[in-house]
Amino acid sequence: MAVYAEYRGLPAAARGASVALGNFDGLHAGHRAVMEAARNAGHGKFSVATFEPPPRAYFRPGDPPFRILRPERRNSMILAAGADDVFELPFNGEMAAMTDEGFVRHVLVDGLGVSHVSVGFDYRFGRGRMGHAQRLASLGRALGFGVTIVEEIAAQGVKASSTAIRQALVAGEPGLAADMLGQPWVADGIVEPGEKNGRKFGFPTANMALGDLIHPKYGVYAVRLRIEGEDNWRDGVANFGRTPTTGLRDPLLETFIFDFDREIYGQRVEVQLITYLRPELKFPSLDAMIEQMHRDTAQAKDILAARR
């Protein structure tokens, strides 16, 4: 199993797979269905091809952070699901200028040597998004590979899409996002030193910048946290935002882990957002803020205990 950052000059062992093609940001139910279609058509050998950076990042570099998964986590999850390889197709000026037919001929056939391709029903490709799933099927027939088009998958009546997941997270609906993802959304990163205000108030926190991960709705969440290298998820309560009471600063995810007193600066952690409790507030005093933090902690403990 390997991750390739190019489609040219691949080793023979990496070519000829049944390939699931798409953006795969989030690995939601629709993505998993596309991967399963590739697996079923590949007689035991299938791979996943995506773009890095995503086309949106290339065309709209000034957009707010939008990634649901960091590339490393996405690739790890794809390989753990049984894919033989991951192809991170470089999205650059050359790729953006390719016609739909050029992309199929040069990337899929000459580069990856695909035996089969699976895509979602709404997949678009080629310059100006000129190509669509039916066009891919037509080109596949002409160029000697099969195509499976996977129909829409819904969760709670909402199309399972990366866009819908982002909308749910920005709206403070992590439960809806989890329904589409098949598991709670995870923010991952390195714990960094903060201003240590939480320690002064009796709520020491593990602080993490989200970087180019999507920024969920500012506010307080019931969460679970796992430290890299450990199996168990620890219950906690987290605030994501700019802490207006103690002084505005760049957004951080600050997690208070229940019954935990170790220093974990510099360690990688994963934080699952389980339930949105309330918006971030500016309190009239520190005492008022601390009282609310106690209420948030009690509420989060009740919610997480009920989910066990």
Q: Are 220 and 238 in contact (CB under 8 A)?
A: yes
| pLDDT tens-digit map of 184-242 | 999 999 999 866 666 667 789 999 999 999 999 999 999 999 999 999 999 999 999 98
CA dist list (Å): 139 to 98, 103, 281, 290:
15, 11, 55, 63
pLDDT score recorded for residue 43: 75
| pLDDT tens-digit map of 268-280 | 999 999 999 999 9
Percent of the chain's residues with pLDDT above 90: 83
Res 178 pLDDT > 80: yes
What pTM, to 2 d.p., does this model score?
A: 0.89
What does the pLDDT average to over 125-133? Answer: 96
pLDDT score recorded for residue 260: 94
- Mean of pLDDT over the chain: 93
| pLDDT tens-digit map of 22-49 | 999 999 989 999 999 999 997 778 999 9
45 Cα distance to chain centroid:
25
Domain(s) of CATH 3.40.50.620: residues in the chain: 2-151
Q: Is 24 left (phi over 0), alpha (psi -120 to 50) or beta?
A: left
| pLDDT tens-digit map of 238-283 | 999 988 766 667 899 999 999 998 889 999 999 999 999 999 998 9
Q: Cβ of 175: how many Cβ atoms within 10 Å? A: 15
pLDDT score recorded for residue 200: 65
pLDDT score recorded for residue 147: 97
Out of 64-68, 150-154, 244-248, 287-291, give the one with best mean pLDDT: 64-68
pLDDT score recorded for residue 78: 97
Q: Which CATH class is domain 2-151?
A: alpha beta
pLDDT score recorded for residue 196: 63
Q: Could you write out the DSSP letters of every residue in 245-306?
A: TT---S-EEEEEETT-----TT-EEEEEEEEEEE-----SSHHHHHHHHHHHHHHHHHHHHH
Q: Which CATH entry fits the domain spanning 184-306: 3.40.50.720, 2.40.30.30, 3.30.420.40, 1.10.3720.10?
A: 2.40.30.30
CA distance 24 to 69: 9
Q: Are 63 and 56 in contact (CB under 8 A)?
A: yes
Nearest alpha carbon to residue 206 among 249, 240, 245 = 240
What does the pLDDT average to over 101-130? Answer: 97
Domain(s) of CATH 2.40.30.30: residues in the chain: 184-306
pLDDT score recorded for residue 92: 96
